[in-house]
Amino acid sequence: MRMPIFGGKESNVFDAIEEHLKAVEGVLEAFRELVAAYLEEDFERAKSFEERVSELESEADKLRRSIETMLYEGAFLPANRGDYVHLSEQVDQVADAAESAAHTLILARPRVPIELKGEIMRLVDSAIGTYELLIDAVRALNSNVDKAIELTKAVEDAEESADRVEYTVKGKVFESETISTYAKLIWNQILTKIGDIADRAEDASDQVMLMAIKRRG
């Protein structure tokens, strides 16, 4: 994450960004466990992971605020601080999307569409995979801007792939004759929120690309 030309304050920011990336990754891992448990109809376990998602999201939010504090206390030149603030906010929105999906699933408790369990998990994995690529892009930003730009394009491709999975699963939900109208509406909302994880990761990758282009000049 670090570049030799930066001093102590900048290095501290890079360390905090790394912690934040890992914290958001933890949110997504807990969310995946939640969905897997829910689809196996282990609702008690799913509920426990909802609580874990919320705890980890709060930790990620604290890290985001600490990054902003360090930036406003003088890390980086003023012209660059806003870029890092914006990036940390967008990365944090990935965790927000997962938390929103988790709450909707646990609160609404729609019937599990047994025949679509695998495809729902495929969407979850596609969304999380998009974020994993974002992590690599952010890390590359401070060492190899060309690599960072290349990875942002990979994030975009992954988000488009997640979109296709989302569209396919939604189509099958609405075509199903065994899922109630209520459950169809709720699953549509949940699937949209899962897709939002990938969307927010792509938003953050757009910011990475802008920052990389600025550095390349």
pLDDT in tens, 102-142: 999 999 999 999 999 999 999 999 999 999 999 999 999 88
Q: What is the mean pLDDT of residues 181-206?
A: 98
Instruction: Give the pLDDT confidence score for residue 199 in this predicted structure.
Output: 98
Q: Which tops the pLDDT comparison, 52 or 84?
A: 52
Statement: residue 10 has pLDDT above 60:
yes
Q: Which tops the pLDDT comparison, 216 or 212?
A: 212
Q: What is the total count of domains within the chain?
A: 1
3-state secondary structure of 52: helix
Can you tell me the distance from the alpha carbon of 182 to that of 31, in angstroms, rounded to the nearest whole number?
A: 23
Residue 184 lies in a domain: yes
Instruction: Give the pLDDT confidence score for residue 9 in this predicted structure.
Output: 62
Residue 113 lies in a domain: yes
Residue 1 lies in a domain: no
pTM: 0.92
DSSP calls for 109-131: -PPP-GGGHHHHHHHHHHHHHHH
Instruction: Give the pLDDT confidence score for residue 29 in this predicted structure.
Output: 98
Can you tell me the distance from the alpha carbon of 162 to that of 92, in angstroms, rounded to the nearest whole number?
A: 19
pLDDT in tens, 23-76: 999 999 999 999 999 999 999 999 999 999 999 999 999 999 999 888 887 766
For residue 87, what are the domain limits?
A: 8-216
Instruction: Give the pLDDT confidence score for residue 79 in this predicted structure.
Output: 62
CB environment 72-90: b (16+ within 10 A), e (fewer): eeebbeeeebebbeebbbb
Statement: residue 1 has pLDDT above 60:
no
The domain spanning residue 25 has which CATH number? Answer: 1.20.58.220
Place of tokens 């909802």: 50
Residue 191 lies in a domain: yes
Band of the pLDDT at 3, cuts 50, 70, 90? very low
Can you tell me the distance from the alpha carbon of 72 to that of 57, in angstroms, rounded to the nearest whole number?
A: 23
Place of tokens 């509920």: 47
Question: Chain-wide mean pLDDT for the chain?
Answer: 92
Residue 17 lies in a domain: yes
Distance spanning both ends of the chain, measured CA to CA: 20
Residue 3 lies in a domain: no
